[in-house]
Each structure stands twice: as C-alpha cells, then as structure tokens.
Amino acid sequence: MSEYVDLVIEWTGSDGEIRWEDWWVQSHGRQRRSLPEIDDLLGFIDYDLGDRGFPRLVRVDGCVTVPKVPADAVDEVTGIVEYHGFRVVSAG
C-alpha cells in the first residue's frame, strides 16, 4: 500500500447520525428546521476532515474524493465519511 490513498465517496441516501447539541435541544427540542441538502452534508464532512487535520474534499466531474489520506488514517477518515451518511467506494 502506498503512503497516501485517494478515497472516492458517494452518498448512501442517509443523512448520517445526528449528535444533538445541548444548546439546540434547550432552544428547539430534537427537531431540525430543515433537512440538509447534499452540499450541506459534504460541508459537514469537509469541516470534520479539516478539524482533524486531513485534506479537504475535492469535487471533479461528479466524483467526490478525499485526496492524499495517509494510509494509516484510512479507517479514521472512513469513519468520518460514514458518520455523515456517505461510504467509500474506491481507494487508490
């Protein structure tokens, strides 16, 4: 396995997991104001990747890729992707 891997991801049709913040629940209860769109979900992934020091998403010709993921971090990045309702479809 090379030192870095590009992970191609796709949406599974799920909004992923919801981790309700206490401040939100206190003000609004456990409900959303609106359903997230695909760009919102990708934005959540992008934020979490950047927050953990991983490369940001790249979109080219309809494909979404997490580029240059360190080989020893593939499982962690896959977990972030899956948490938000996506899956890794290829790694190379």
* pLDDT of 87 over the 80 cut: yes
DSSP state, 72? G
Q: Indicate the average pLDDT of the chain.
A: 87
Query: Residues 24-68: pLDDT tens digits?
Result: 778 878 777 777 788 888 999 999 999 999 999 999 888 999 999
Which residue's structure tokens are 């490369």?
55
> Domains, the chain, ranges and CATH?
4-91 (3.30.70)
- Across the range 69-83, mean pLDDT stands at 95
Question: Coil, strand, or helix at residue 85?
Answer: coil
pLDDT at 26: 84
